[in-house]
Amino acid sequence: MDVQILALVALAILGFGMVSRRTEKSPLTPPMVFVAFGLGLGVLGLLELDAESAFFQLLAELTLVLLLFTDAARIDLRQLVREHTIPVRLLSIGLPLTIVAGAAVALWTLEGLSIWEAAALAAILAPTDAALGQAVVSNQRVPVRIRQALNVESGLNDGVALPAVVILLSCMGAAEGGEGVAYWTVFTAKQVLLGPLAGVVVGYLGGMLVKWGQKSGWMSHTFQDLALIALALGAFSGAELVGGNGFIAAFTAGLTLGNTAREACKGLWEFGEAEGNLMALLVFMIFGAALVPPALARLDAAAVFYVLASLTVVRMVPVAVSLAGLKLRRDTRLFLGWFGPRGIASILFALLLLEEVGTGDQVERMFAIIVTAVLFSVVLHGLTAYPGAMRYAERLHGMDDEEKASASEHQEVGEMPVRRRFAEERHG
């Protein structure tokens, strides 16, 4: 990336920033703008990167580490279990069912895919990204219970899905022949056992050290925040050194930190709303420039059908099943089912697919489908976020006082400092 590209990126961020408040109630979202900007750079030949370029790989890995760590650190597990029934159902029932449904549809529609490839594809596309429908989770007219459900789900489901992705990619590797089943069994076991162990150790001990630094007065406020970011990198590198999965370690380290040293995490959350946004926008830009054109060139009718199914029935039916018995309105179940956009996590998991399994016709086809699903989601969920949230809110506000008092949607829940990327919480 040369100086000219850096200048264009800086101007793009500044330019969109100048009108960002005005766009909050429009169909235009920052991910849409930066994907389009990247696509333009790629078409004009100004940004020549591919999915395996060293710069993109480094940016993607850092973004995923910090995304997993900061999102997990926001979650108060006691409050989640006590008050947030909807995201617990979405994560514990909806997410596994979405993977199963996605794998079944892939086997049915995509000729030549093995069961492991179909399951891996479904797992990579299962996590959601609230940033692509930010007008939904930042709209105060939408009941807090529903907003929090989508935001908490988005903050946790990438970390919850990650072990499944790692295991399924290992199964794909074993099926290819290569090192053999024994090698991949040991490799997978180390990844999913040593990774969380390293994360818990680093998250707990690091959090205790930062708390001590705060109380003793030996650590400045600036370095308290920097030390917490360093824990994400420490968990990742520590797990990799012992053969565990660094991304799983980053997630479990954040979850441990957020529940043992929560008072120290405010600066970490603020980082996710600033520097984290910049990294995410860069990923979307390079996604548009380097990944979208080759993916679109590989599309066929079956792939498009699968992408559309993945964004609709493959999520919406499992969501409806997972919410059974909670006495939610039908439009609420549809609302929660539709607003499950695919974004940063799916992009970065797709890069793991290339890194762990390598290239090949089926892998490249899977990669193209994942990229296309994210592209469609950026556009479709971005366009429908604000009008969809307002229409849903109007339907709920049209209820009389007695209906509102008994409606499950209006049940009071405590708010957690989950992601509000790219927009402020308003639209009231």
Contact predicate 341/134, CB 8 Å: no
Grade residue 426 by pLDDT with cuts at 50, 70 and 90.
very low
Instruction: Return the pLDDT at 21.
Output: 79
Contact predicate 407/396, CB 8 Å: yes
Judged against a pLDDT cut of 70, whether residue 406 lies above it is answered with no
User: pLDDT exceeding 90 applies to what percent of the chain?
Assistant: 42
The pLDDT tens digits for 16-44 are 888 877 777 777 888 898 999 999 988 88
Question: Would you list the domain boundaries of the chain?
Answer: 53-410
Distance (Å, rounded) from C-alpha 200 to C-alpha 62? 19
Contact residues for 334 (Cβ-Cβ < 8 A; gap 6+):
316
Distance (Å, rounded) from C-alpha 73 to C-alpha 255? 5
Grade residue 117 by pLDDT with cuts at 50, 70 and 90.
very high
Tell whether the torsion through CA atoms of 1, 30, 293 and 119 is positive or negative.
positive
Distance (Å, rounded) from C-alpha 252 to C-alpha 197? 8
User: Using alpha carbons only, how large is the chain's radius of gyration in Å?
Assistant: 21
Q: Classify 22 as helix, strand or coil.
A: helix
Instruction: Return the pLDDT at 380.
Output: 94
- CA–CA distance from 408 to each of 79, 94, 145, 153, 345 (Å)? 18, 19, 9, 18, 30
Closest residue by Cα to residue 100 from 345, 368, 310, 324: 310
Contact predicate 153/128, CB 8 Å: yes
What is the pLDDT of the chain when averaged over all its residues?
86
Distance (Å, rounded) from C-alpha 206 to C-alpha 5? 38
Instruction: Return the pLDDT at 410.
Output: 76
Amino acid identity of residue 83, one-letter, is E
What is the DSSP track for 321-368? HHTTTS---HHHHHHHHH-----HHHHHHHHHHHHHH---HHHHHHHH
Dihedral (C-alpha) 147, 270, 288, 131: value to the nearest 10 degrees? 0
Contact predicate 308/376, CB 8 Å: yes
Distance (Å, rounded) from C-alpha 229 to C-alpha 362? 37
Lowest-confidence segment of 24-28, 240-244, 346-350 by average pLDDT:
24-28
Judged against a pLDDT cut of 60, whether residue 47 lies above it is answered with yes
Domain made up of 53-410: CATH architecture? Up-down Bundle (1.20)
Distance (Å, rounded) from C-alpha 254 to C-alpha 413? 23
Grade residue 428 by pLDDT with cuts at 50, 70 and 90.
very low
Instruction: Return the pLDDT at 293.
Output: 92
75 backbone φψ class: left, alpha, beta (φ>0; ψ -120 to 50): beta
Structure tokens given for 112: 């030549």
Report the 10 Å Cβ neighbour count for 84: 22
Instruction: Return the pLDDT at 296.
Output: 92
Distance (Å, rounded) from C-alpha 311 to C-alpha 219? 47
Q: What is the pTM of this model?
A: 0.90
Contact predicate 414/127, CB 8 Å: no
Q: Classify 265 as helix, strand or coil.
A: coil
Closest residue by Cα to residue 380 from 27, 50, 101, 30: 27
Instruction: Return the pLDDT at 190.
Output: 87
Amino acid identity of residue 233, one-letter, is L
Spell 119-141 as b/e; 16+ CB within 10 A means b: bbbbbbbbbbbbbbbbbbbbbee
- CA–CA distance from 10 to each of 13, 55, 408 (Å)? 5, 18, 45
The pLDDT tens digits for 360-385 are 889 999 999 999 999 999 999 989 98
DSSP helix, strand, coil percent of the chain (3-state; round to 5): 80, 0, 20
Judged against a pLDDT cut of 90, whether residue 161 lies above it is answered with yes
Instruction: Return the pLDDT at 274.
Output: 66
Instruction: Return the pLDDT at 304.
Output: 96
Distance (Å, rounded) from C-alpha 79 to C-alpha 63? 27
Contact predicate 342/377, CB 8 Å: yes
Distance (Å, rounded) from C-alpha 122 to C-alpha 116? 10
